[in-house]
Amino acid sequence: MRTWHDAPRRRSRIEIIPMIDVMMFLLVFFVLISVNVIPATGLKTTLPQSSQAQNNTARKNTVITLAESGELQLDGAEVMLADLPYRLRALQRPDEKLFVILNGDQATQLQRLIDVMDALKGAGFESLSIAARKKTA
């Protein structure tokens, strides 16, 4: 009697090298996106330099950014000067003090800085700091 032997079936294999290539591509893609996109969410500012600049201590801070073009942001969200005190009051909790940091571009007009400081002072915000970079020798 004659039997026909089936050809040996090849077992399927999972190729891992293309999967590694795809994973590396995704990793590089997400790293490049996070490096280039996340810092671009705020306004670009060049901080003024000070020889007496100090590091911030751990406390409840909120950052107001003044751009050279006159734009105003509160913690990365665009805000109008008239709305600034109301938005700050919404952030303030009754049990802790809110520290406001003014992050202004070195080319910002001094009058714009004074306008923001007046609005904060008029709304009762007393703790105010101006962000600066430590001078390099």
The tens digit of pLDDT for each residue in 33-76 reads: 777 665 555 666 666 766 656 665 556 678 888 888 888 888 88
Strand, coil or helix: 8: coil
Highest mean pLDDT among 17-21, 70-74, 114-118: 17-21
Lowest mean pLDDT among 1-10, 11-20, 84-93: 1-10
Strand 61-66 relative to strand 72-74: parallel, antiparallel, unpaired?
A: antiparallel
**Candidates 1.10.10.10, 3.30.420.270, 3.40.605.10, 3.40.50.2300; CATH matching 49-134:** 3.30.420.270
Tokens of 82: 């008239």
Residue 113 — pLDDT band, cuts 50, 70, 90?
A: confident
Residue 23 — pLDDT band, cuts 50, 70, 90?
A: very high
pLDDT at 123: 83
Alpha-carbon Rg for the chain, nearest whole angstrom, is: 28
Indicate if the pLDDT at residue 119 is higher than 60. Answer: yes
pLDDT at 33: 79
Higher-scoring residue by pLDDT: 28, 38:
28
- The mean pLDDT value of the chain amounts to 79
CA distance 89 to 11: 68
Higher-scoring residue by pLDDT: 114, 27:
27
pLDDT at 24: 93
CA distance 65 to 44: 9
pTM of the model: 0.57
